[in-house]
Structure 1
């Protein structure tokens, strides 16, 4: 689920809604159905009250899965207090039409009004609600999203629409080349040193050292500087400790969300893949907090691909599946958790120590 744009964009025609979707999702959807949820308004013919959020799912491969998908849409929109929605299906008619029909029926049963329902394919759209052939030709209505004012406004506001979801996933793919070789060597050294320190059995303060390293990395990221291979390797090692990972969340607010997202994106890509679950989960959390549902989903999948049982990623996936609104996360007092986490780290110091992946 993706929250609405935080800039004023006028959406009046079907082509406007189609043009804005890729910027809300972060990529151009294919073989998908998108629901755009609007704030309630006293005027049933107006969308002036604003777009609240959008949600996208893949079209089902099997027709027998369509009723469950339709019910999922209805439950998600109902849970978030939606009264009015726009539906857009992407793909050929044989694939889109049964899904649109099922979703419209489920929304109607849930008391949600469908403003319009469109099908988009090859630069044309068809409306399932407009019976006028002069307005909506049976051959489809051509549109040009590239010249649409709504798309231009989104670009001006800094939003990006990638070619497809694969392009979004590529943002978090492991880095290669010389950087990968340097980080791999640095990670071996960091793991060897960590094992030596753990074997000393002294009262080393793993928690505060780890928190300081995270803060230093955020400082460098905020200044527009990349991390060294050694810094990436040590952060990968430190973040395997639950309390150090949680401590990173207490710095939300001390540094802006964009700085956090840039750091956790960099670490997700640059750490050795076996160490990617913690930074990917932190990235997913920040993306959820900022309303970037597609990035949150891709980051969660990256974390779970490394460790299918990684609990923080599992919780975020559940939040995404349930349509948890970003406002819920934004209301959390992260700085207020710092003392509590520090106290727990003092009581259970083992949970502040690195837990190295097998083979490291």
Structure 2
């Protein structure tokens, strides 16, 4: 799930709506049910689930999540590679749309339209799920105003969801090595001085990576242990609004790939927080999915996931990063200068 808010968009043109989906999700959906919420004429939250034979429970949950943002309405896009030429399938599409409409209606949300598309690409074809007779060709997703805005914001658009997931894919061999090193050196507890040293080491490691260096096993192991300390992790959130945000995020991605569970979970939460703060909902979403698979009860991961699903804007998340600066002051740690208010943190 990810969110966007824009008025530079024509919600009454299905070809335009469908073409914009990759820019909002961050990847091109396949075999998916995508729900685009509409709030006062603007694009709101965009949610996606896989198509499957029995989607009853998923649709109930989808409607519940969509309702968290209290939208006025929603538009459904069923992405099925067999959709364009499978007329007998339209009964299934019609039933799916009707079920979704009922669930949304129970939350006071109108389903404004449901469209079936074979592929979200230039030349892809769409038609109404209810057999209304309307249909057409998909506009160029790369030319969508939202895609252009994403590129200008420096966001990468992925061709497939698994390409996005590969950003944080674990390295089992390296994780096994680090698991042994972490287990051999776990301290009884971190003092304030230890926490300060860990924060400084994280910043130094981020700078080293940015300069083309590699992350030594002993450094990764120490950082993995340190991230389990809430003071350290929450202070490091502050870097998301600092001048070194990109360097820090690259370090969290590296750690998320090589650390063993449960240490990997904390790195994933940092990746998610930094991505969310700079407006990259897709990367935040897959990182939180991975974190919650590791630890379904993780408090911060759950809080960020709920915020993302409810459509909380990135600028509100960036306010949370300011807590990191207050914690740093209490610990006596100096963080990099904050970026000016109103400027993106990434």
Query: What is the TM-score of this pair, normalised by structure 1?
Result: 0.71
In structure 2, relative to structure 1, the CA distance for the partners of 1:311 and 1:226 (3 Å cut) is same
Work out which of the residue numbers 271, 274, 279 in structure 2 matches 1:286: 274
Q: CA deviation at 1:151?
A: 7.3
Query: What is the TM-score of this pair, normalised by structure 2?
Result: 0.74
Larger radius of gyration: 1
Query: In structure 1, what is the equivalent of residue 299 of structure 2?
Result: 311
Tell me the alpha carbon deviations over residues 271-319 of structure 1, each in whole angstroms, 9 at most, x when there is no partner. Answer: 2455311101211223333443332232123223444443332333344
Query: In structure 2, what is the equivalent of residue 349 of structure 1?
Result: none
Query: In structure 1, what is the equivalent of residue 344 of structure 2?
Result: none
Q: CA deviation at 1:115?
A: 4.2
Match runs of 1:119-268 below 5 Å: 119-122=116-119, 123-128=124-129, 131=132, 133=133, 136-137=134-135, 141-143=136-138, 145=140, 148-150=143-145, 153=148, 156-157=151-152, 158-175=154-171, 180=174, 185=177, 188-189=180-181, 191-192=183-184, 194-195=185-186, 198=187, 205-220=193-208, 226-255=214-243, 257-268=245-256
In structure 2, relative to structure 1, the CA distance for the partners of 1:234 and 1:253 (3 Å cut) is same
Structure 2 unmatched runs, 5+: 84-89, 333-346
- Aligned pair count reads 318
Structure 1 unmatched runs, 5+: 42-49, 344-360
Tell me the alpha carbon deviations over residues 175-227 of structure 1, each in whole angstroms, 9 at most, x when there is no partner. Answer: 367xx3xx7656645654x35xx47x997821111111122234345556553
Q: CA RMSD in A?
A: 3.7
Tell me the alpha carbon deviations over residues 23-64 of structure 1, each in whole angstroms, 9 at most, x when there is no partner. Answer: 2112222332222234415xxxxxxxx423322233464254
Query: In structure 2, what is the equivalent of residue 62 of structure 1?
Result: 54
In 2, distance between residues paired with 1:8 and 1:217?
Answer: 41
Q: CA deviation at 1:113?
A: 4.5
Tell me the alpha carbon deviations over residues 136-178 of structure 1, each in whole angstroms, 9 at most, x when there is no partner. Answer: 25xxx3436467554763574344443432222222112367x
C-alpha contact 1:236 1:275 (8 A) present in aligned 2: yes
Match runs of 1:67-106 below 5 Å: 68-69=60-61, 71-73=63-65, 75-78=67-70, 82-91=71-80, 92=83, 93-106=90-103
In 2, distance between residues paired with 1:62 and 1:202?
Answer: 49
Tell me the alpha carbon deviations over residues 48-86 of structure 1, each in whole angstroms, 9 at most, x when there is no partner. Answer: xx42332223346425436624641552341xxx22433
